[in-house]
Structure 1
Amino acid sequence: MNPVWWVLLFLAIAVGGALVLGRLLLGLWRKAGGLLEEADVLAVRAGELADLLAQVEVPALPVTAATHDGHGSEPSDDSGRPGTVESYDDRGATAPGKKEP
């Protein structure tokens, strides 16, 4: 085979590789542009969220005196609320599944 053919063959392979590389770089450029646009939209939305959160006013809670536990919380009486569990007294109580001595 003539050496000119080898040169033309490798030249064709190089041109084809350059075209494929150019196509890949163009696709990467477009995806990067789309990603940057989405980042801009995200920044705008974050700014809007920050503005909305700045408008929220939280009412101040009333200050209570510290109780016997020292944490400022008062024991609550849940006896009048539906769905609460009553305290269990095991002195002489008969519970389901409890065995008598």
Structure 2
Amino acid sequence: MTTTSDHGATPAPAPPGYTNHKPDHLARLHKIEGQTRGVTRMVTDNRYCIDVLTQISAVTHALQEVALGIMDDHVRHCVTTAVQADPAHGQDKLDELTLALRRTLRL
């Protein structure tokens, strides 16, 4: 798809790879937001340390699951499309993915 301007056609930005799963990701993120508010209330209410840590662990795991879902979408959409369209661009996307994995695994 292209859009036109005074200077001719310019490519429209591609939708993100997670577009098809966006409602699922947003629903999960809203749930995580509620869990995070719950942790804040637990600390405010001086709840037992282990209970707070358990909830923090649950929130962390939930965020990691969202990240894995978005990464899966990225590989199946963005990386695959780039590799098929242009091997050099595909290599750039694979390098980008490797960097993202390195950042993610530094937990």
TM-score class, shorter: 0.3 to 0.5
Q: TM-score, normalized by length of structure 1?
A: 0.36
More helix by share: 2
Q: TM-score, normalized by length of structure 2?
A: 0.34
Q: Which has the higher contact order (CA 8 A, sep 6+)?
A: 2
